[in-house]
Amino acid sequence: MQTMPQITAIIPAGGVGERAKASWNGMAIPKQYRLIKDKAMLLHTVDALLAHPMMTSVVIGVADKDDWIETLSLPPQCIVSRTGGATRADTVLNTLIASDLDDNAWVMVHDGARPGLPFANLDALIQQCIQADSGGILALPVSDTVKRQRSHQTLPVIERTIDRQGLWLAQTPQLFKKAQLENALQQALQAGFVVTDEASAIEFVGESCLLVKGHWKNIKVTWPEDFELVEYFL
């Protein structure tokens, strides 16, 4: 009988949410702790991941001086790791290094700021990666016309239209084997490469990565108005 692979999730949650300008009782609050339908955004994100039967634990990477995390009632599968770094990629790498995961374990990285992950997309990513024995990410094919802005203009002006054929917008979760991801992040960061998602590190070391269709509900809460949208469908 084949055993079901187990997956550990890492949630980078060490950001301050500068662009989202979230507040609580008039106090600035990192966006992942703002309440959405009476529940902190981070808890929505945790619950979305734990809905999957293969998800055995969730490691949350937070800033060293984060007091908010203590205010949450986290499920028992959660581990808080005070491994937040200067950038999202640093937080992910620090958290991976601090974990005692096997090199061959599947690790899923998912933004704390994506609380609306639908189960069907999460499952599709897991099934396709395991079947292909390959890392992969959720992403959305670009459906609008894409413009490049001309540089050095006071007002934004179009320079040209980019061919959208074959363009995708990367989301998370992003799923890889632990050693592969750790090694790729280490190499990319040491080389000074700007790593905005895990897949960019994998690309940096020349390895391949599956694209699996995501969902608009899996929006990254980035701007103040994004709260209204997730509030609507969560």
Ligand X SMILES: Nc1ccn([C@@H]2O[C@H](COP(=O)(O)OP(=O)(O)OP(=O)(O)O)[C@@H](O)[C@H]2O)c(=O)n1
Closest contact distance (angstroms) between CB of 92 and ligand X is: 7
Residue nearest to ligand X (CB): 15
CB closer to ligand X out of 4 and 28: 28
- Closest Cα partner for 175 from 148, 204, 211, 150? 211
- Which residues does 189 contact at the CB level (< 8 Å), separation at least 6? 89, 90, 93, 195, 201
Contact call for residue 111 and ligand LQXTBERG (CB under 6 A): yes
Contact call for residue 215 and ligand LQXTBERG (CB under 6 A): no
C-alpha 91/C-alpha 29 separation (Å) is: 19
Q: How many residues does the chain have?
A: 234
Task: Say which amino acid occupies 229.
Answer: L
Burial grade of 82 (CB within 10 A; 0-12, 13-18, 19 or more)? middle
Closest contact distance (angstroms) between CB of 76 and ligand LQXTBERG is: 27
Site for ligand LQXTBERG in 183-202 (CB under 6 A): 196-197
CB closer to ligand LQXTBERG out of 15 and 81: 15
Site for ligand LQXTBERG in 130-169 (CB under 6 A): none
Task: Compute CA distances 77 → 49, 151, 221, whole Å.
Answer: 11, 48, 24
Residue nearest to ligand LQXTBERG (CB): 197
Closest contact distance (angstroms) between CB of 168 and ligand X is: 18
171 binds, among ligand X, ligand LQXTBERG, none (CB under 5 to 8 A by kind): ligand LQXTBERG
CB closer to ligand LQXTBERG out of 56 and 222: 222
CB closer to ligand X out of 134 and 222: 222
Task: Compute CA distances 196 → 27, 116, 217, whole Å.
Answer: 29, 20, 21
Site for ligand LQXTBERG in 72-101 (CB under 6 A): 88
C-alpha 23/C-alpha 136 separation (Å) is: 34
Percent helix, percent strand, percent coil in the chain, to nearest 5: 30, 25, 45
Q: Which residues bind ligand LQXTBERG (CB under 6 A)?
A: 88, 111, 170-172, 196-197, 220, 222
